[in-house]
């Protein structure tokens, strides 16, 4: 076993590797950029080396700086995590040329699976079923359009060097092919340095089922069963589970055999995942799944497979890389229970899942003791007070549960999400909670189009219940402060000798103002009128800081978090933010009749389609912004004429930055 390893990654996966290495007595070296100088993974590691500026291209993608850090610290091996250099065969060659061990597969195996077109050809030769489509090298746009016509719409355009949903476009009709192709090529170039694509038939009721494999340097290859990753948005995974719902034993065996053959065909070693697309229209069948790609690294969702097998995959990676044989055979492996993982991101589901930034002013995860031994796991690379920056993936945490049955796992996941609290940035927390209540998901009827089909209901933001808004009004007026001190005058807030005091406050929630009138009745009782006739509340602060609220015979618990002029109340798995409007602030009409086009998130301007003086029609594409290596197209909000373009291609813009001005309309 190694005595010291360097982790060529950041965030959650770096922290994950450090945890296992520490248990095994292996010392760790972290690397960090300017943006990560105070990051959690830097604090956790035994040593840390600065490798460059915030941009990944100048730090985490600089193989030379990472290798120099390994040399300076005496690391014997490099763990790549996932993303960045983890599937770069040139990096593997450089690691080995430096006399170090790469904790992952051989460079030739990565090359074999690195380009989707070549990988599919190799799998066909190995007898692994592949999706019908064009996997050749010809990239002429008209030729590709002709291939799409032959395959038959709908089709998927996929970056051949891609992964994680980047460089992928679903095209329903020939009319949308050219624009989708250009977008996929730009995204492939930006993310992988390769604009090449392949075209595949789109399966109309697709399920994304993947098989975890492990291989050692002694000829042993095993599969560790399947994961279902069908719950996706923008082709990126949201909730994963193991095993897959409705998986027959014969199909599991067939998929497992195909995955093992795929690994053997390329001389694989270490952890890998063979991804299949399955036709779920008539249930999972042995003749109804096809190879999509192989991820030659550890997957983000590996914890669910660890939970059902009882194995530590990072430990297996280290042992295999150190030359040890796999400690298990296929006959040793059994499925134990059901596991699920939800990816908690800083993103706005109501705005098409645009990535968000901000400081994590308040971050609280569930108490694992409430769930029982081994039932709850939180993998995170951030802490309260950390910043979610525009430079990297906006993941906050992975919430993982393990239970005896699928139904119990869903209940555990819902409870864990409802007990998670985040303020300081927009998150997908409520969206994830809503998914755990979705009837199709609960029934196990999962497929990759579920979120898009039910998106309106999943991202709906309920109005706060009257008692929640009432508690916000009390908090805004300072009536919920702890007044148990020795000064008796502290306990007379709101008291008048001649009458009951009436206090007034205006709150802001969801762009709407809420006017509240409050009377303090004494003893923690209040009468609050929100324009609805009013209600009487009894409010008490418990020893754990939570608020116990009773109104109209109904009792509930709320959590209150203050951040400047914002009050956030957590209730029933929802976070309700209330602001105090500043009457002295200048109010700028950002709508301006739709005259100003602003950036909805921080990002890089990849394409400027608008020109001053040009006439545009509502819906015309004006800009393409890239954030977290994903492209987002901004369109004209109305018909008009471009007055001014304020940015150029290659500019880095902040959230809310004005990009374009239209000439004033007629009103």
Active site members:
297
Could you tell me which of 75, 81, 44 has the C-alpha nearest to residue 60? 81
What is the helix (H) or strand (E) element at residue 72, kind and residue range? Answer: helix 63-73
Q: What is the 3-state secondary structure (H, E, C) of 196-207?
A: CEEEEECCCCEE
Could you tell me which of 505, 499, 502 has the C-alpha nearest to residue 471? 505
Burial 344-371 (b: 16+ CB within 10 A, else e): bbbbbbeeebbbbbbebbbbebbeeeeb
Could you tell me which of 177, 182, 214, 200 has the C-alpha nearest to residue 120? 200
Residue 562, both tokens: 């203050």
Q: How many helices (H) and strands (E) does the chain have?
A: 17, 39
What is the helix (H) or strand (E) element at residue 50, kind and residue range? Answer: strand 47-52
Could you tell me which of 293, 7, 10 has the C-alpha nearest to residue 166? 293
Say how far apart CA 38 and CA 34 lie, in whole Å. Answer: 9
Q: Is the dihedral of CA 489, 493, 494, 500 positive or negative?
A: negative
* DSSP assignment letter at 448: T
Angle at 381 between CA 392 and CA 573, to 5 degrees: 100
Residues 6+ apart with CB under 8 A from 181: 141, 144, 145, 157, 169, 197
Radius of gyration, CA atoms only, the chain: 27
The sheet with strand 77-79 has its strands ordered as 47-52, 27-33, 4-7, 77-79, 101-102
Tell me how far CA of residue 7 lies from CA of 26, 61, 69, 479, 645, in angstroms. 12, 13, 10, 50, 43
Could you tell me which of 657, 619, 623, 609 has the C-alpha nearest to residue 639? 619
**Nearest-10 Cα torsion for 100, 105, 106, 108:** -150
């Amino acid at each position: 076993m190694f005595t010291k390893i360097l982790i060529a990654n950041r965030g959650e996966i770096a922290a994950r590797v450090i945890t296992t290495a520490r248990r095994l007595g292996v010392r760790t070296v972290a690397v960090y950029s300017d943006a990560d100088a105070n990051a959690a993974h830097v604090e956790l590691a035994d040593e840390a080396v600065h490798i460059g500026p915030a941009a990944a291209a100048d730090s985490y993608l600089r193989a030379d700086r990472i290798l120099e850090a390994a040399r300076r610290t005496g690391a014997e091996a490099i763990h790549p995590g996932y993303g960045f250099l983890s599937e770069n065969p040139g990096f593997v060659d450089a690691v080995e040329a430096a006399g170090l061990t790469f904790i992952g597969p051989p460079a030739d195996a990565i090359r074999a699976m690195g380009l989707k077109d070549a990988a599919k050809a190799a799998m066909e030769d190995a007898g692994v079923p592949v999706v019908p489509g064009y996997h050749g090298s010809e990239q002429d746009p008209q030729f590709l359009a002709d291939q799409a016509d032959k395959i038959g719409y709908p089709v998927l355009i996929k970056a051949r060097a891609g992964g994680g949903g980047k460089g992928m476009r679903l095209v329903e009709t020939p009319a949308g092919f050219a624009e989708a192709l250009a977008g996929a090529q730009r995204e492939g170039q930006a993310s992988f340095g390769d604009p090449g694509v392949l075209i595949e038939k789109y399966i109309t009721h697709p399920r994304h089922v993947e098989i975890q494999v492990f291989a050692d340097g002694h000829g042993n290859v095993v599969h560790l069963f399947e994961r279902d990753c069908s719950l996706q948005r923008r082709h990126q995974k949201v909730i994963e589970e193991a095993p897959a719902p409705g998986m027959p034993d014969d199909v599991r065996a067939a998929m497992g055999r195909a995955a093992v053959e795929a690994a053997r065909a390329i001389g694989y070693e270490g952890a890998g995942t063979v991804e299949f697309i399955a036709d779920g229209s008539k249930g999972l069948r042995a003749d109804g799944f096809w190879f999509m790609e192989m991820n030659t690294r550890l997957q983000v969702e590996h914890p669910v497979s660890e939970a059902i097998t009882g194995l530590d995959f990072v430990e297996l990676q280290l042992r295999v890389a150190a030359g040890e044989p796999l400690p298990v055979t296929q006959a040793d492996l059994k499925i134990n229970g059901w596991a699920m993982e939800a990816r908690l991101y800083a993103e706005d589901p109501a705005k098409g899942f645009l990535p968000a930034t901000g400081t994590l002013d308040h971050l609280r995860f569930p108490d694992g003791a409430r769930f029982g031994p081994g039932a709850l796991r939180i993998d995170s690379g951030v802490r309260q007070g950390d910043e979610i920056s525009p430079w990297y993936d906006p993941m906050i945490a992975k919430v993982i549960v393990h239970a005896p049955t699928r139904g119990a796992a869903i209940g555990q996941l819902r409870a864990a999400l409802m007990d998670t609290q985040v303020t300081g940035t927009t998150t997908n927390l409520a969206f994830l909670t809503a998914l755990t209540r979705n009837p199709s998901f609960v029934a196990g009827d999962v497929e990759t189009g579920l979120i898009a089909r039910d998106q309106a209901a999943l991202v709906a933001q309920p109005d706060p219940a009257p008692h929640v808004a009432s508690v916000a009004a009390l908090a805004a007026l300072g009536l919920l402060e702890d007044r148990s001190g020795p000064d008796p005058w502290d306990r007379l807030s709101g008291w008048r000798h001649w009458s009951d005091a009436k206090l007034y406050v205006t709150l802001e929630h969801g762009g709407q103002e809420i006017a509240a009138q409050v009377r303090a009745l004494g003893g923690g009782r209040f009468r609050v009128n929100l324009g609805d006739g009013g209600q009487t509340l009894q409010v008490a602060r418990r020893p754990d800081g939570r608020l116990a609220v009773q109104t109209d015979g109904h009792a509930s618990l709320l959590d209150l978090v203050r951040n400047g002029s914002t009050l956030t109340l957590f209730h029933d798995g929802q976070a309700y933010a209330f602001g105090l409007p500043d009457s002295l602030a200048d109010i700028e009409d950002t709508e301006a009749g739709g005259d100003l086009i602003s950036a909805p998130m921080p990002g890089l301007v990849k394409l400027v389609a608008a020109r001053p003086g040009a006439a545009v029609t509502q819906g015309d594409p004006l800009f393409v912004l890239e954030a977290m290596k994903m492209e987002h197209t901004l369109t004209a909000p109305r018909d008009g004429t471009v007055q001014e373009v304020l940015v150029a291609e290659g500019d880095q813009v902040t959230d809310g930055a004005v990009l374009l001005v239209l000439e004033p309309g007629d009103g």
